[in-house]
Structure 1
């Protein structure tokens, strides 16, 4: 058992990253000279963060077995969770270890968007796939490559297209799910409104499926275009997760970090 008593540490923050807002938070922490270790899952995400003596970037998957050593080696005294709203596994892991080792935890989450017309909501991809909403439609999926396999049974009932990240892993998963290469486009967000509109029109999309990922995830642009073009937008709700402490206010984040990481 690792001893994670706060008295052992000089006080570094664990920033759970990989998102645009986590990169912005890292900039703020560096500006305030707050020591921080940001964790990301891919080497590509490393480039999001500024070089600084106050900031370390840790690349890899953190498991329940590996996390205690990570917390000890990085001298973590507090956790700032800025992971993607749908990356519930890492949030659940961080919350569990924060409670076990009595580490202060704060969840920073992008606000929900509620504006726009032509919007339909489903509580999960499972509930969408259990309905007949996709039948006969030309559907653009902007939900991440990991979920595309769920749509494989619908390949014969709808014309499915997908936007994925430009990576070999994403392309391999999409092809395995039955997507031909003429129905895939690989782009890294953010996507401009003009490019988004051109893609919808080029593929003659009649229905778009996305996640409630907020403005950083391009949701606001999709809602705007859905209203403008009269194309229905299906929004998959964020997974339900109870966070011990949650905010979308940057001053609260800075106050939290200054309290525990100086």
Structure 2
């Protein structure tokens, strides 16, 4: 199950291992990213749970390697449910999280989902334990804190129900699906949206109240120089991003935020209880070989 940089790397490794593979993506643009190999078939379209169950049967799927986007929660949940239904082995392959930074007061800031959730469960790696790390989860205006600062929140819903954004010039880099949540903030903050250059993304931004001069459609990767120039051009005072790791440009945003003294709000990856999970390429290939060569 593709749609990410990691899935392209996986597909290349699978073909190199002489293994047959069907890759699912949602857009025609994504099809061209994958290696041209007789062993690889790229299927384009969106699959509901019932669609996925039929798909697995029709394509004689014997194992599922889920390399979909970390925030594509429904895709993974449907895959897990369909695999459970038909007793198909499932492995989640996910990009690694960035390591957290340690503040002088012993608390942690920044990053990814390897830390502890408020409910005691862990995000990300199945072997991630509770390290005693605290998430910076402030509920007061950002102006009360010394800059630069990184704030980690569990969801965009938490962000919009707080007062983090009030009177800020905010750059949102969270994807078009979350933009409707920010409609009510259009009158209380100056919001800018950076989205992928696709019709569906632009239409979603406009529908959420973003005017054309506050939308930029740009496909990653984005260099630190360009990131810096965009923030300065728009006089950005706060940036909201996802814990997407280095492939999603999280490392670049951290660097630029620190250099410019701009607060960075990072939205955690959604929690999913994956049956099994890895970030190791060789483990993923061994998983495929195990079931294809039975």
TM-score by length of 2: 0.82
1:188 is aligned to: 219
Contact 2:49 2:79 in 1 (8 A): no
1:138 is aligned to: 169
- Deviation, structure 1 residue 73: 2.1
Q: How does 1:210-229 map to 2 (within 5 A)?
A: 210-229=241-260
2:136 is aligned to: none
1:243 is aligned to: 274
2:44 is aligned to: 59
2:57 is aligned to: 72
- Deviation, structure 1 residue 69: 2.2
- Deviation, structure 1 residue 235: 0.2
Pick aligned residue for 1:84 from 58, 64, 69: 69
DSSP-derived class of the 2:63 partner: strand
Contact 2:26 2:45 in 1 (8 A): yes
Provide the C-alpha distance between the structure 2 equivalents of 1:76 and 1:225, rounded to a whole number of angstroms. 44
Unaligned runs of 5+ residues in structure 2 are: 102-109, 111-147
TM-score by length of 1: 0.92
1:109 is aligned to: 94
- Deviation, structure 1 residue 174: 0.5
Bigger relative contact order, structure 1 or 2, given CA contacts below 8 A and separation 6+? 1
The answer to whether structure 1 residue 127 and structure 2 residue 158 are counterparts is: yes
- Deviation, structure 1 residue 194: 1.1
Pick aligned residue for 2:235 from 185, 204, 229: 204
Pick aligned residue for 1:32 from 10, 17, 21: 17
- Deviation, structure 1 residue 118: 2.1
Provide the C-alpha distance between the structure 2 equivalents of 1:261 and 1:220, rounded to a whole number of angstroms. 37
- Deviation, structure 1 residue 260: 1.2
Unaligned runs of 5+ residues in structure 1 are: 1-15
The answer to whether structure 1 residue 19 and structure 2 residue 4 are counterparts is: yes
2:118 is aligned to: none
In the TM superposition, what whole-angstrom CA distance separates every residue of 1:39-85 from its partner, at most 9, and x where no partner exists?
A: 00111110110111100000001112222221122110000000101
Provide the C-alpha distance between the structure 1 equivalents of 2:270 and 2:64, rounded to a whole number of angstroms. 21
- Deviation, structure 1 residue 183: 0.7
- Deviation, structure 1 residue 261: 2.0
The answer to whether structure 1 residue 261 and structure 2 residue 246 are counterparts is: no
Provide the C-alpha distance between the structure 2 equivalents of 1:231 and 1:171, rounded to a whole number of angstroms. 26
Provide the C-alpha distance between the structure 2 equivalents of 1:100 and 1:65, rounded to a whole number of angstroms. 11
Provide the C-alpha distance between the structure 1 equivalents of 2:30 and 2:74, rounded to a whole number of angstroms. 18
1:231 is aligned to: 262
Query: Number of matched residues?
Result: 247
